[in-house]
Structure 1
Amino acid sequence: MNARMGLRIGTLVAVVLLTLLALDRWRAEQEAGQPLAWKAAYEATLWAPLRERLLTLADVERTLGKGSLWMISADGEPRLVSRHPLDSDGQRWRLQAVIGLDEERTNSLVEAQAWQPDMADQAVSPAVAAALAQYPVERLSVMPEEPLSAQKVIATFGVADWHMPVEGGEAWIYGRQGVVVSVSEGEAHSVMFGLRQE
């Protein structure tokens, strides 16, 4: 191969690579401007019933399938949550439902699990879910496997009503929608539904 032919091939390869990079960047920008698909997909079955305080554990399982129950520590207090995998928008997510237990049921689970505030998350028997099927869900959190761009959050929920500084970043608060998004360094790490205005 002579030098002229090598130059032509090198130029062609460079043009192809630059075109592919430009297309990839354009595609990423287009995707960033698209709202999260799971927001609309579960509006009627999860988000609206939660806002109206009608959502139960049975409703979540009917929508997303059986989850796994866990006792967790939330600021040193015991919480029972149901965790569900979710595939949407090109990645895997974890949806976590906080179940609203009465004091008697909470104390019973704390005793059965020998729960302590400093313990790691503890799995709870799936049989408990059947007994708690009609208990209300207080909050739903959706966490991506990989952080989201803040642009994706804005495309989905709009501009936040308030930005509140929190340790390690900000909480973007959407009061009318009952949503709080955890953001740091231009990336979102979780979306929580169930904010109450009282």
Structure 2
Amino acid sequence: MDIRRGVRIATLLSVVLLAFFVMGRWMGSYDALKPLDWSQNYADSLWQPLQDQRLQLGDLAPAAGEGRLWLISADDQPLLVSRHHLRSDGQSWRLQAVVGLELAQLDSLVQAQAWQPGMRDLPLDAALGMPLAQQPILRLSMIPEQPVELRYVQGSWGNPDMRLELGEGDQAWVYAKQGLVVAVSGEDAHSMMFGLREEP
């Protein structure tokens, strides 16, 4: 075998090996886009009913287990939420649901609890859940105990429709079809909020 032919064969083998290496890396990155288990497990019981605006407070316990009602301060305004703890994808998650109340209902609750702006979150009596069972759920948030790598977000919902820059490396990833906003910092997601709706 002459030298030129040997060089050509060596070059061809190098190209083939490089192609296999690149393909292996590409397939490995594709496999790494694993969806979050809860994104699929609760699709029928939580995410779709919320998107259809038919999810109620009484629907949460059968789907996510018993939770607890809290009166919290959101931008110095009272907000009623139901909190549930889930185990999924190797860690603990807090599911927080914002409960829709009529103004009179909210005023009555605020007075009964002597709530003031800036107060710490107040746990409420479990008995309140019964008369409020048919109140609508406006938003649902999934908050992981530890931040989640973005590859799991992309494995669940793909690339976002919009990335909003919030400064200092923080972003909001918006998925319009799912009504989802993901809070992103660096290479991690810190919370996922469902219930985004277009203004009429």
Give me the whole-angstrom Cα distance separating, in 1, the residues matched to 2:182 and 2:75. 19
1:99 matched to which residue of 2?
Answer: 99
Q: For the pair shown, which has the larger CA radius of gyration, 1 or 2?
A: 2
Look up the SS of the partner of 2:130 in the other structure. Answer: helix
Aligned counterparts of 2:44 and 2:53: Cα–Cα separation in 1 = 13
Work out whether 1:184 is the aligned partner of 2:182.
Answer: no
Residue 117, structure 1, aligned to residue 117, structure 2 = yes
Maintained 8 Å contact 1:32/1:149: no
The one-letter amino acid of 1:123's match is: P
Question: Does the 8 Å contact 1:182/1:189 carry over to 2?
Answer: yes
Q: Which amino acid aligns with 1:37?
A: D
How many residues are paired up? 171
Alignment of 1:126-165 (within 5 A): 126-165=126-165
Query: What residue number does 1:51 align with?
Result: 51
- C-alpha distance in structure 2 between counterparts of 1:88 and 1:68, whole Å: 19
The separation in 1 between residues aligned to 2:32 and 2:184, in whole angstroms, is 16
* Amino-acid identity (%): 48
2:76 corresponds to: 76
Q: How far apart, CA to CA, are the structure 2 residues paired with 1:111 and 1:70?
A: 15
C-alpha separation in 2, matches of 1:85 and 1:30: 30
Per-residue deviation, 1:148? 0.3
Provide, for residues 131-150 of structure 1, a one-character-per-residue CA deviation record: whole Å limited to 9, x for no partner.
10010000000000010011
What displacement does 1:176 show? 1.1
Query: Cα gap change, 1:100/1:31 in structure 2, threshold over 3 Å: closer, same or farther?
Result: farther
State the AA in 1 paired with 2:86: L
Contact 1:56/1:137 (8 A) holds in 2 = yes
User: Could you tell me how far 1:166 is from its partner in structure 2?
Assistant: 2.4
Structure 2 unaligned segments of length 5 or more: list them: 1-27
* Structure 1 runs of 4+ with >4 Å offset: 28-32
CA distance in 1 between partners of 2:192 and 2:31 (Å): 18
Equivalent in the alignment of 1:6: none
Q: Deviations over 1:120-171 (max 9, x none)?
A: 1111111111110010000000000010011111111110011112255111
